[in-house]
Amino acid sequence: MIASLELRSIALSASAKSRPVGDEGGFDLGSLVLEWKNVARITSGKILNVKFFPCVERTVVVAGNDSGNLLFWDVDCGNEGGNGVYLYHPHTGPVSGISIRPSVLLKVDFLHFI
């Protein structure tokens, strides 16, 4: 059976961005709004791990799937050509973990088990 999974970027409403919750601040998770324009299908198969790339200029999501693929999704690519999804296939085993080091953004570690 082949499963298809969609990664979603969630747009915050203006009220969610400005309303503090509790003593430590933040926002009410119940006020998050999912809009269909923010839904993207980036791969078929099962995604096993997802991380947000700590980048100030762009929103980049890294996902690892059960076929050994690492997918880099540039959420902010807009209409710059293509869909902003870049596929890297380092091996055939499932990607069970992704580690991104904020001090070394050019290096992404991934784990797989046989």
Q: How confident is the model at residue 42 (pLDDT cuts 50, 70, 90)?
A: confident
User: Which has the minimum average pLDDT: 62-66, 93-97, 105-109?
Assistant: 105-109
- How many contiguous H segments (helices) and E segments (strands) does the chain have? 1, 8
Single out the residue of 70, 75, 76, 73 nearest to residue 85, CA to CA.
73
Q: How confident is the model at residue 7 (pLDDT cuts 50, 70, 90)?
A: very low
For residues 45 and 46, the model is more confident at 46
**Is pLDDT at 110 greater than 50 in this prediction?**
yes
Q: How confident is the model at residue 24 (pLDDT cuts 50, 70, 90)?
A: low
- Mean pLDDT (the chain) is 70
**Is pLDDT at 80 greater than 50 in this prediction?**
yes
HSE at residue 108, side-chain half, CA atoms within 13 A, is 19
Query: What three-state secondary structure class fits 52?
Result: strand
Summarize the confidence of residues 2-26 as an average pLDDT: 43
**Is pLDDT at 104 greater than 80 in this prediction?**
no
